[in-house]
Amino acid sequence: MAIDSPWAYQDYADTAVPLYKQFILGAFEAIITPMILLIALAQLLIALSMLFKGQFLITGCWASIIFPVGLFVITRLFTDIVVLPPLNSRFCTQRYLGYCCTIAPSNTLKNQMRKIITNTFMTLDGVMQAPGGPDEDTDSGFEYGGWSVTQWDQLMNEAMIEAMKDPYDLLLGRITYEIFAAHWPALKDDPTADLFNRINKYVATNSLTDAAWENTVLLNQDTIEQIKSIKLTDGIDLQVHGSGNLIQSLLHHGLIDQMNIWIYPLVIGKGKRLFGDGTVPANFKLVKHLVSPTGVIITSFEQNGKVPIGSFAS
Average pLDDT over residues 280-308: 94
Mean pLDDT, the chain, rounded, equals: 78
CB 283 within 8 A of CB 307: yes
Q: Is the pLDDT of residue 9 over 60?
A: no
The Cα-based distances of 109 to 98, 169, 185, 232, 253 in angstroms read: 21, 20, 36, 9, 16
Mean pLDDT lowest among 40-44, 54-58, 184-188, 268-272: 54-58
What is the per-residue pLDDT for 40?
74
CB contact set of 54 (below 8 Å; sequence gap of 6+): none
What is the per-residue pLDDT for 66?
62
Average pLDDT over residues 67-94: 46
Determine the Cα–Cα distance for residues 23 and 21; give it in Å rounded to an integer: 5
Sign of the C-alpha dihedral computed for residues 66, 67, 69 and 74 taken in this order: positive
> What domains appear along the chain, each with residue ranges and CATH number?
19-106 (no CATH), 113-303 (3.40.430.10)
The Cα-based distances of 232 to 192, 212, 218, 247 in angstroms read: 27, 27, 18, 18
Average pLDDT over residues 286-303: 96
What is the per-residue pLDDT for 72?
59
Determine the Cα–Cα distance for residues 243 and 255; give it in Å rounded to an integer: 14
Q: State phi, psi for 191 to the nearest 5 degrees.
A: -60, -40
Task: Read off the pLDDT band of 112 (50, 70, 90).
Answer: low
The beta strands (E) that lie in the chain are given as 79-84, 94-96, 99-105, 116-123, 168-173, 201-204, 216-219, 237-241, 258-264, 284-291, 297-303
Nearest to 104 by CA among 113, 96, 95: 113
Q: State phi, psi for 261 to the nearest 5 degrees.
A: -120, 120
CB 169 within 8 A of CB 201: yes
Rg (CA), the chain: 25
pLDDT, one tens digit per residue, over 223-274 is 999 999 999 998 999 999 998 889 989 988 989 999 999 999 999 999 999 9
**Local structure of 50: helix, strand or coil:** helix
Instruction: Output the DSSP codes for 259-300.
Output: EEEEEES---S-S-BSS-TTPPP--EEEEEEEE-TT--EEEE
State CA 112 to chain mean position distance: 10
Determine the Cα–Cα distance for residues 57 and 64; give it in Å rounded to an integer: 11
Q: Which long-range contacts (CB under 8 A, 24 or more apart) does 159-165 make?
A: 159/6, 159/7, 159/290, 159/292, 159/298, 162/5, 162/6, 162/7, 163/119, 163/260, 164/239
Q: Is the pLDDT of residue 76 over 60?
A: no
CB 211 within 8 A of CB 181: yes
pTM for the model? 0.65
CB 92 within 8 A of CB 85: no
Q: Which long-range contacts (CB under 8 A, 24 or more apart) does 145-148 make?
A: 147/123, 147/264, 147/266, 147/268, 148/121, 148/262, 148/264
Q: Which residue has the higher pLDDT, 159 or 36?
A: 159
What is the per-residue pLDDT for 217?
95
